[in-house]
Structures are given as C-alpha cells and as structure tokens.
Structure 1
Amino acid sequence: MNPSKSPYRKSRRRLIALTTASALVAGLTAVVATATQADATQSTYSLQKVQWSACVWYRPDLGGVVPECATVTVPRDWRTPGQGEDLSIAISRTKATDAAKRKGIVFTNPGGPSGSGITLSWMLATAQPSLAAQYDVIGMDPRGVGQSTQLVCQVDAAAASAANHDSRDLSAPAIAARHTLLKAIADGCATNPLTPYINTWQTTHDMDLIRAVLGERRLNYVGYSYGSWLGAKYAALFPSRAGKLVLDSNTGWMGDLADAWERMPMAFQRRWERQFVPWANRSDFFAKDVGTTPAQVNATYEQVRTAFIKYAGRPTAGDTVDGIIRGSLYTDDGFVGIGYTLGQLKVCLVDNQDWSPEAINACALAYLIRVLEYLEEHQGVEAATQLKARVHSAGTLLTQPEKLTAPSPEGLLPVLAAAQNATGPTVPLPGVYYAVRCGDGGNWHSTAWWDQLARRDGPRYPLAAYAIPQEVCPYWSLPAQKLPNPDPRRLGPLVSVQSEFDPATSYELTNDNLRRYPARLLAVDDSGIHGLYGVRGQGCVDDVVNAYFLNNVVPPARTVCTATPLFAETQVYPQPGPVDRLSRPRPSRTDHIPANVRQAADQLIR
C-alpha cells in the first residue's frame, strides 16, 4: 500500500492546512487592525485644520509683511502617536504677496537649539520682498520653546548658589561646585516627563506634519546655526519631501553636534583677534579708550574684567563681560556694543577712582551721550536707533550691576542669573538647549575631558574656553536619539552658506561637511557674521540664494562672496583665513534692511 495515498494522511494534511490558514488570517487581521489604528491615529493629526489669526507679538508700527499665527497639535511621541498628552506647536506665516507666482513654502529656524522662531517669518519676508512674493514664509517655536508647549527644568537652587565662581577659577572647590550644578541641571531636566520627547528627531516630525496640514508636497527650508543641523536631519529622515535647502552658519551636520561646541573657543577668539581688535585699533572713536594696538586692546579687556568683578561684588561678573563680548561677535554691528562696553568700563571704572553711585551714573551717562552722537554722525539716525539697544543694554552693567544678564547660553550664566531671583528650593530653567543637545547623542566626552580643555585652551582662548567646558551633557542620564545623515543620492542640491570667521559655528565644520557631502558652498571671505542670508544686507549672498529659490538657479560647487565693510568703514581689510584659496570672490554690496528687522535678527539668530 502506498502511504502517500492513505486517507488518514490526506485528512491530516487538510487539517494542518486549515489550521495554518486560520492562523495566517488571524495574524493578518491583527496586523491590518494595528496598521489601520496607527494610520487612523496619525490622520487625526494630519487632517486637522489650521486656524490662522492675528499674531499677538505683531504691531502695525513694525511694518513689513503682516504675519498670521496659529497652533498645530502634535503627538508627544511620534513613535506612539495618540498616547500621552498632545503638545501644541506655535507657527506663523506670511502669505505669498504675488499669488499668481506662488511656489510653495519656505520653513525657517533661527538656531539655538532653543531659539524662538515664530517671528522669523516676518523678519525674512520683510527683508526679502522678492522671496515673500513667491513663497509663504513659515516660522515656528519648536516643541519646548516659547509659545509652544514649554520644557522647564527645575534645578536645585542651593547647587546654583554654591557655583558662584568665576569661570577662570579652576581650583578644586570651584570645579566641584560647578560639577554639582551641572549634574543638578541634568537631573532637573530628567525629572520632567516631557524631556525625553524634546529632540531633533521629534521636531523634524513636527515639521513634516506642519507641511502636510498646510497642503504642501515639499518643504523648502532656511535654517541658521543649529537650524542647519535640524534642516539636514529633516532631509535625512524625509528625503522625498525635502525641497530647496539652504543651511546657513553650519554645524557639523554630517558628523557630531558636539563638534560645534568643542570648536567654539578657537572660533570666538579668532573673530576677536582677526576682526574686532584691528577694527577697534582703526576706530577714530574707540581706539583712544580701548587701545591703538592689539596688546592694548587685550590689556583693556583684562583690566575692565577685573575691575567689573570688584565693582559688582560677584565673581561671576567677569563671565558677564565675557558673555556680552561673545554675544556681540555674532554680527558686525555688535562691534559697536563691544567697543562701548570696554570703553565705558575703562573710562568709568579703570581710569576713574570715584565709584560712588553719583559719579558712576554721571560717567556712564556722559559716555553714552558721546557714543550716541558718534553713531548718528557716522551712520545716520536710523542706524543709530538700531544700535541704541546694544548700547543701552551694555550701559546697565554700571548703573544696575546687580542685574547680571545671561547674554549667551554657553556655560552656567543662565542658571546663575535665574538663581538670583529664586524664592524656593528650585530654580526654573528653560530646558530645550540641554535636552536637544544632549538628547541628540554625540561624543560629549567626560567631565574630566572638559576640565582639561579649560586648563589647556583657557589661556589661549580666554573669551570662551573657560565657559564652554561647563557642559551638562556628560551628566545626561536619558537615552539619546541617534540621527541619520542626509544622502545626496536622494536629495536635490543643498546650499551651505558660511562666513570665514564665524565665531559660533567655525568654518572648519563646513569643511568637515563638504568632505562627506557634495553641498554647494557659498562662502563669504573676510566676514565673521553668524547668519548671513536675508536679514544682514549681504547683497552677494542674498542674490545667490534668491536666484536658487526664485529662478531655480543652482549655485556652482564653490562660490565666494566678498565681505561688506565693518561699521563706519568704507573698505574691507583682508585677514588670512580658510577661505582665501577657494576661488576669486564675487563683489558684494550692503543692501538696506529695515533697522528694526536687523536689530531683531541680531538678537534671534544664534
């Protein structure tokens, strides 16, 4: 008898087949049900209607293109949409002024991480009317920031108070107190249940949802500083939806986010030594107070730093001077603020022995009047008005020394400033700056590595090499979210805009990117401006980028623009740097940007 023809065998095979089929059907049903549920959950976000209304921050006297604002709902975690409490994302829009020629949207980000970008759409649209004619310009407060759902970390107030040391103090007690505070910041952020969901990966998904609810197939983009990282990672995660990308003042977006902070001390010092110091020496106003040689300017900086610590009665007052200088190096207009800060402190503290309130107030007022008269004489009333904000903020150092500000996010100044007003056991601290940097992963080294960096580089790069190593990320205990790099095979041309002496995102980071990605480089020789396109009046840069956005003119592999003259100067003074041998530079020009736009952009793009 042939066993294969046995009735028993046939019945058994039928049973197995039926059982297997039933199991497959049940499994497929479960998979389909799960997929349908996930799709339905996501569609509740993508099908929401955006309700535009007037922006609370905009006033008619600001002028320019009138923006409108809205709120978009996003899931707390894009891995499990629908679970957990939803977040609100504040966005803004300036509608294309020439509807017949409208091309789509340009999304924007000012940097940070932690920059509030909701006003940037108005700034860019007002400064670049040709762009605003053909594109809706979109601004956003990223998750955790500003008018969006905020991330606040509660930091131990005692730890903040105990870390009241000058950053240059590398004694064992000072370092120990500093580390206690750094750990307290990391621990304070870790206790907030929102912190794990504040990172670049989540924000890119928010951006893509906003693209979808606005009904756009492509997301065109302009991002400055950290915004270059955000834009590059959006392109890596959503390559089919990425349109024209302009990344300005670049992080190492093909490498490690931590690299930008490691290179900051050198970059800030280079901008100071190669551009500010020679400018101050040439200045017919500031040189007589600040110095006519590089050695004199550096000596003035050390003198006023020491004097201000004594005058304010706080060791961290020296860090405030450093922070004001660093924050002012981001733009050329900031040179006036540095000159004013150093000059006023030199005249009223170093050269003046009477530190009574009456004498200090009289000296500060007299110096302020001199500077304002100088500004109006050289630049006219509008430019003087634009620069008054820098001058007035620096003036409060003498008239209100107890109000130590946090002019730049590096180091511990922000939490130390907040601790001065603490009324309870903890200090509320905006947490996005830490959550994104640490949560994006990267090689943030050990605390000992950063301490050694301060010892090694502090004497060479005193403006930043003592403050930058005060790093929270080595104490970060939450999981990091690794991010992919963009793939040029799946993307259109990407334009990388970079100044030669950028103090915050060094030119070397752009070189690192270009070795790994064939971006179209748009470099500016002998410039140190951080954030070049659109809002600085750099005519050559604006021409190239606008031609790309408006006329699809892809820049060549390498384009070099000349810098524009520094404040109160009529020519550019070349300095040796990494751009020198690239190619023959194109001539540039200084275009008019409304004073209020320039001033707002100076404070925002970081």
Structure 2
Amino acid sequence: MNRRRTAALAGLLGMAGALIAMPPATAAPALHWAACPADAAINPLVAVQCATVPVPLDYADPDGEQIEIMISRVASPNPAKRRGVLLTNPGGPGGSGLGLPADLVGKGLPVSVTNAYDLIGMDTRGVGHSTPIACGITTDDGYYGNVPPYAPDDAAVVAQAAIAERIAARCAANPRVRHLTTANTARDLDRVRIALGEEKASFLGYSYGSALGAAYASLFPDTVDRVVLDSNVGDSHLNREGLRRYAHGFEETFPEFARWLAARHDSYGMGRTPAQVRRNYLALVERLDRTPAPDGTTGAMLRGAVFAGLFSATAYGRTAMFLQTYATPGSVAPSPETPPGPHPSDVALSVFLAVSCNDADWPEELDTYRRGVAEDRKRYPLYGAAAANVLPCAYWAWEPSEAPVGIVPNDVLIVQNRHDPVTPLAGGELLRSAFGAQSRLVTVNGSGHGVYVLGGDGCALNVTTTYLVDGRLPARDTVC
C-alpha cells in the first residue's frame, strides 16, 4: 500500500455516499446582475451581464467557508420561446468561461437556441473572476504547460520529476487547493441552477467540459435537462489514461496537417507528400532536442506548439510558419530570458493540476512514468513522450477525498470529430458506452478540437441544434 493510501481509505469510507447525498442548498441567493468586469474577455458586441453565486468551499461542510462563483448571462431575447437556461463550459480545467456564451453567439449560434435559452457562462471555482485559488507558481519554477514537455530520453523524465515535485509542494501550501474537484464544480453548477430559479438546467460542455457535464448529469439526473458533450475526455474526470490519449489524438490528427503542408510545399518546404512531411518534422524536432535553436527553442517546445496548432485548421498556416522558421538555418534570433516573478498563467495551471490530481489516484512511483514514456515514445513517436511524462500529481499532498463520479445512464448527445489532437474519437466512444443506450454519438469525419458551432460541419450543427431546441435525439448513432 502506498505512502498515502492507508489514511485515504478511512477518508474515502467516511465520504461514502457523498457523491449521492450532499446537503442541498437551503435557499436561493439573490442574484444582482450588473456589467461584467472590464478585464473579462467577453465579446463587446454581445449584451452580457454578470453576477456572483456563493457556494461552499467544502460541500462536506456546507455552512463553513463560502467562496464566490462569477457567472455571465446572455438573456433570451424572446421570453415567449424561452424554455430555460443552458449552462456552458469551454474546457480546462482552469479555463475562464465567462466569455463563452458571447463567443458562441458571435460565431453564429442559431437564433432558435438563443431564443430557447438564457446562455450561462461561468468562471469555475478558483478561476478568473471567481474566488481565486492558486498554487503560487512562478516563472522560476520552470513549469509552463498542462502537458509535460516531450522527454527525448530517460534523463528528461527524471529532470521533469524534480520540477513536478517542486510544484506539488507549492500547491500543498494552499489548503483551499484540495477542494478543487470536478465533483465540487458539478455541485457548483447545481447551486447556480438554484440561484437562477430554474427547476432544471441544460448543459453544453467542450473538451474537459465533457467530463464536467458527465459528472453533472450523473450527480443530478433529476434536475438536469438536455446535455451536449463535445470533444470528449472519455470519463467524468481526467486521469493518467485520459492524458495519455493526447498522444493518440496527435497521431490521428497530424496526417491531416501533413496533407495540408504537402499541398503547400512550394511555400513552406516541409515535403511534397505527407510521408515526407512526417519524416522532415521528426528530423527537425530531434535536431532541436540535440541542439536548441538560437532563441532556446527545443524539439520538445516545438512539438508542444504543433500539438496546439492542430486544434483547428485555421492555425495550420501559423504552425507551418513556425516549422519553416526553425527548419531554416539562421532565421531565428536569440530571445530575451523570461524575467523572474509571478507566472502569468498561475491560476490556470494551478486549477488544471488541482482538479486533475484531486479527482483521481495517480501513480506515485517515478519508474511507472519512466516506463510509460519509453513505451509511448515508440507507440506514439510524435507526442507520446510528453503525454506520458510525469505530472505534479505523482507527488500530490492529498489522496482523492471521494471516488470519481460514476456515470449514470442518461439521454445525452455526444459529438466528436474523428481526428482530434487532444480528445480523440476514443473518448467519445468511451462516453457513449458509459451513458448507455439512451445516449447518442455523432461522429464528424473532420479534424480539430470542437464541433458544435466551433467547427464547420453542418450535419453536426443541425443534429445538435434540433436536440437543444426540440429535445429530439437522432434515432441512432450518426456519422456526419
């Protein structure tokens, strides 16, 4: 039994049933709608209001310390057609969601949906304009992303472990961090529903928002209405298996980018065929791992940039420019070092780590990660040695206070691109299986991260809009 598990077992037994029987809110707090904070990233062309909702820091102590959750609202312009509220989440964990409703409207969310719902965004607990909860990560800590850097060799895993242990110690210094979980965020969603005065609430979640939505629908099946899960993690939480699927997604999506690049060889010079592009890409990042560019960029850093660039075809040109820049000798000048001080992404990094590490029991033995990196470096040569690398979760101060939310069968709509670099099709298939025969999976023969409104597929748009407005799921799983 590992070094923390003995004490944790007692805690888990003490929390048995907590996922089912958390104390209900005693009364709906009064909401005071006003202008959203000036520094919130919200589309100024859309009318949006904001308010705060108090929630318990610890749902096991509902009368104890309270924190605030800031929500946003794009109100239905047609009360006669309004059916309720649509809670939304853009992903993360750690991403600000105040601006998502206005973003969806700005990208063309159908009027039938904006008539049917007040669109509700949220900065989830710890994030943005909600009560901040962070670890205090600084630029000196050398920790810069939710996915660890690609480890070209075993020594790189050991080096990353030292950074991960340091970050875990920073997080352990803030006792509020242990209350950042997907289950608690789902409970916050239900408190928001109550504060809005709604008997039921619908939900639209992207990426990690699919895990949050799966937890929300499973914890509150009697008060949840219509649920759309888009670009799916594959469970009610993100664990090591889910993170390692990132490498699978990269492998499945890179061929789309390689075909795009091959058709533009005369402009970017990365190869005339997809196979040539792949070989040239791997040669480039491996060279940079041996000898970093003048600006300090390594192969691991460039792999991370390409991973992010596969999220949308609209980013292919910029990603190709990066590759061309580092493939051209003498085209990169040294850049100044990052000044020491607070990390600009401290909150986002902290919340991602806290939720991920608190939700699941991660392996604690470094050799487990060393073996996983070696395996995935061969299995998924483009990105496997990043997705399997060691996170601060290996050195986390707390065991999970409760088991992950078990998924309850429900009639949810699951939408998924066939090629997605971060949440591959396997995630959608796993959720479809977990939610059972009442659910439906819509698979889009497309590439990128994000389908409904954010993608360009008309079939998926029509199916999802019909479900949100009329409540009709397709008769069977659908391929668009």
Q: What TM-score range do you get, normalising by the shorter chain?
A: 0.7 to 0.9
Counterpart code for 1:111: G
Show the counterpart of 1:73: 54
From the superposition, tell whether residues 478 and 307 of structure 1 become closer, same or farther in structure 2 (CA, over 3 Å): closer
Q: What is the CA–CA distance in structure 1 between the aligned matches of 2:149 and 2:210, rounded to whole Å?
A: 32
Q: What is the CA–CA distance in structure 2 between the aligned matches of 1:448 and 1:245, rounded to whole Å?
A: 40
> Does residue 1:83 correspond to 2:64, yes or no?
yes
Show the counterpart of 2:219: 237
From the superposition, tell whether residues 191 and 100 of structure 1 become closer, same or farther in structure 2 (CA, over 3 Å): same
Q: How far does residue 64 in structure 1 lie from its aligned partner after superposition?
A: 4.6
> Does residue 1:516 correspond to 2:450, yes or no?
no
Q: What is the CA–CA distance in structure 2 between the aligned matches of 1:180 and 1:435, rounded to whole Å?
A: 18
Aligned with 2:384: secondary structure? Answer: coil
Residue by residue over 1:272-319, the C-alpha shift from the partner in whole angstroms, topping out at 9 and shown as x without a partner, is: 1x3111221123654x512102343134324543359533353x6322
Show the counterpart of 2:35: 54
Show the counterpart of 1:547: 466
8 A Cα contact 2:150 2:303, kept in partner? no
8 A Cα contact 1:255 1:513, kept in partner? no
Q: What is the CA–CA distance in structure 2 between the aligned matches of 1:64 and 1:285, rounded to whole Å?
A: 40
Show the counterpart of 1:116: 96
> Does residue 1:431 correspond to 2:412, yes or no?
no
Identity %: 30
Q: How far does residue 445 in structure 1 lie from its aligned partner after superposition?
A: 6.4
Task: Work out the number of aligned pairs and report it.
Answer: 445
From the superposition, tell whether residues 71 and 190 of structure 1 become closer, same or farther in structure 2 (CA, over 3 Å): same
Larger Rg: 1
Q: What is the CA–CA distance in structure 2 between the aligned matches of 1:62 and 1:345, rounded to whole Å?
A: 35
8 A Cα contact 1:107 1:219, kept in partner? yes
Show the counterpart of 1:392: none
Unaligned runs of 5+ in 2: 1-21
Residue by residue over 1:373-414, the C-alpha shift from the partner in whole angstroms, topping out at 9 and shown as x without a partner, is: xxxxxxxxxxxxxxxxxxxxxxxxx467347xxxxxxxxxxx
Q: Identify the match of residue 102 of structure 1 among 82, 107, 119.
A: 82
Counterpart code for 1:550: V
Q: What is the CA–CA distance in structure 1 between the aligned matches of 2:408 and 2:42, rounded to whole Å?
A: 45
Show the counterpart of 2:4: none
Show the counterpart of 1:168: 151
| Larger helix share, 1 or 2 | 1
From the superposition, tell whether residues 399 and 57 of structure 1 become closer, same or farther in structure 2 (CA, over 3 Å): farther
Q: How far does residue 132 in structure 1 lie from its aligned partner after superposition?
A: 1.0
8 A Cα contact 2:421 2:449, kept in partner? yes
Q: Identify the match of residue 403 of structure 2 among 482, 494, 504.
A: 482
Residue by residue over 1:299-349, the C-alpha shift from the partner in whole angstroms, topping out at 9 and shown as x without a partner, is: 4324543359533353x6322211110001111212222222212333xx3
8 A Cα contact 1:300 1:342, kept in partner? no
8 A Cα contact 2:168 2:392, kept in partner? yes
8 A Cα contact 2:56 2:67, kept in partner? yes
From the superposition, tell whether residues 401 and 532 of structure 1 become closer, same or farther in structure 2 (CA, over 3 Å): farther
8 A Cα contact 1:74 1:88, kept in partner? yes
1:348-359 superposed matches below 5 A: 349-350=328-329, 355=330
Q: Identify the match of residue 154 of structure 1 among 136, 156, 160.
A: 136
8 A Cα contact 1:200 1:440, kept in partner? yes
Residue by residue over 1:9-57, the C-alpha shift from the partner in whole angstroms, topping out at 9 and shown as x without a partner, is: xxxxxxxxxxxxxxxxxxxxxxxxxxxxx98x943xx432111112235
Show the counterpart of 1:450: 369
From the superposition, tell whether residues 307 and 454 of structure 1 become closer, same or farther in structure 2 (CA, over 3 Å): closer
Q: How far does residue 208 in structure 1 lie from its aligned partner after superposition?
A: 0.6
Q: How far does residue 487 in structure 1 lie from its aligned partner after superposition?
A: 2.1
Q: What is the CA–CA distance in structure 2 between the aligned matches of 1:282 and 1:149, rounded to whole Å?
A: 48
Q: What is the CA–CA distance in structure 2 between the aligned matches of 1:515 and 1:259, rounded to whole Å?
A: 17
Alignment RMSD: 2.9
8 A Cα contact 1:254 1:512, kept in partner? no
Q: What is the CA–CA distance in structure 2 between the aligned matches of 1:195 and 1:213, rounded to whole Å?
A: 25
Q: How far does residue 482 in structure 1 lie from its aligned partner after superposition?
A: 1.4
8 A Cα contact 2:362 2:393, kept in partner? no
> Does residue 1:249 correspond to 2:224, yes or no?
no
Q: How far does residue 109 in structure 1 lie from its aligned partner after superposition?
A: 0.6
1:396-407 superposed matches below 5 A: 398=332, 401-402=335-336
Q: Which of 442-451 and 239-248 deviates more?
A: 442-451
Aligned with 1:240: secondary structure? Answer: coil
Q: What is the CA–CA distance in structure 1 between the aligned matches of 2:132 and 2:226, rounded to whole Å?
A: 30
Q: How far does residue 202 in structure 1 lie from its aligned partner after superposition?
A: 1.1
Show the counterpart of 1:195: 177
Q: What is the CA–CA distance in structure 2 between the aligned matches of 1:235 and 1:298, rounded to whole Å?
A: 41
Counterpart code for 2:335: P
8 A Cα contact 1:496 1:522, kept in partner? yes
1:459-478 superposed matches below 5 A: 459-468=378-387, 469-478=389-398
Q: What is the CA–CA distance in structure 1 between the aligned matches of 2:40 and 2:134, rounded to whole Å?
A: 29
Counterpart code for 1:515: S
Q: What is the CA–CA distance in structure 1 between the aligned matches of 2:304 and 2:169, rounded to whole Å?
A: 25
Show the counterpart of 1:289: 269
1:373-452 superposed matches below 5 A: 398=332, 401-402=335-336, 420-423=338-341, 430-442=349-361, 444=363, 446-452=365-371
8 A Cα contact 2:282 2:382, kept in partner? no
1:543-582 superposed matches below 5 A: 543-561=462-480
Q: How far does residue 155 in structure 1 lie from its aligned partner after superposition?
A: 4.8
Aligned with 2:64: secondary structure? Answer: coil
Q: How far does residue 62 in structure 1 lie from its aligned partner after superposition?
A: 4.5
Q: How far does residue 464 in structure 1 lie from its aligned partner after superposition?
A: 1.9
Unaligned runs of 5+ in 1: 1-37, 361-397, 404-419, 562-606
Q: What is the CA–CA distance in structure 2 between the aligned matches of 1:92 and 1:442, rounded to whole Å?
A: 33
TM-score by length of 2: 0.85
8 A Cα contact 1:254 1:517, kept in partner? no
From the superposition, tell whether residues 61 and 479 of structure 1 become closer, same or farther in structure 2 (CA, over 3 Å): closer
Counterpart code for 1:76: L
Q: What is the CA–CA distance in structure 1 between the aligned matches of 2:229 and 2:275, rounded to whole Å?
A: 37
Counterpart code for 1:83: G
8 A Cα contact 2:237 2:404, kept in partner? no
Residue by residue over 1:530-571, the C-alpha shift from the partner in whole angstroms, topping out at 9 and shown as x without a partner, is: 11012223221111111111122222221111xxxxxxxxxx
Q: Identify the match of residue 324 of structure 1 among 305, 308, 322.
A: 305
Q: Identify the match of residue 535 of structure 1 among 444, 454, 458.
A: 454
Q: What is the CA–CA distance in structure 1 between the aligned matches of 2:324 and 2:471, rounded to whole Å?
A: 48
8 A Cα contact 2:51 2:72, kept in partner? yes
8 A Cα contact 2:218 2:407, kept in partner? yes
Q: What is the CA–CA distance in structure 1 between the aligned matches of 2:41 and 2:193, rounded to whole Å?
A: 28
From the superposition, tell whether residues 544 and 175 of structure 1 become closer, same or farther in structure 2 (CA, over 3 Å): closer
Counterpart code for 2:424: S
8 A Cα contact 1:159 1:180, kept in partner? no
Counterpart code for 1:297: V
Q: What is the CA–CA distance in structure 2 between the aligned matches of 1:155 and 1:551, rounded to whole Å?
A: 46
Counterpart code for 1:320: M
Q: Which of 205-214 and 65-74 deviates more?
A: 65-74
Counterpart code for 1:434: L
> Higher RCO, 1 or 2 (CA under 8 Å, sep at least 6)?
2
TM-score by length of 1: 0.68
Aligned with 1:517: secondary structure? Answer: helix
Q: How far does residue 74 in structure 1 lie from its aligned partner after superposition?
A: 1.5
From the superposition, tell whether residues 110 and 444 of structure 1 become closer, same or farther in structure 2 (CA, over 3 Å): farther
Q: How far does residue 230 in structure 1 lie from its aligned partner after superposition?
A: 0.5
Q: What is the CA–CA distance in structure 1 between the aligned matches of 2:196 and 2:474, rounded to whole Å?
A: 29
Q: What is the CA–CA distance in structure 2 between the aligned matches of 1:115 and 1:123, rounded to whole Å?
A: 14
8 A Cα contact 1:114 1:433, kept in partner? yes
Aligned with 2:226: secondary structure? Answer: strand
8 A Cα contact 1:498 1:510, kept in partner? yes
8 A Cα contact 1:93 1:121, kept in partner? yes
Show the counterpart of 1:226: 208
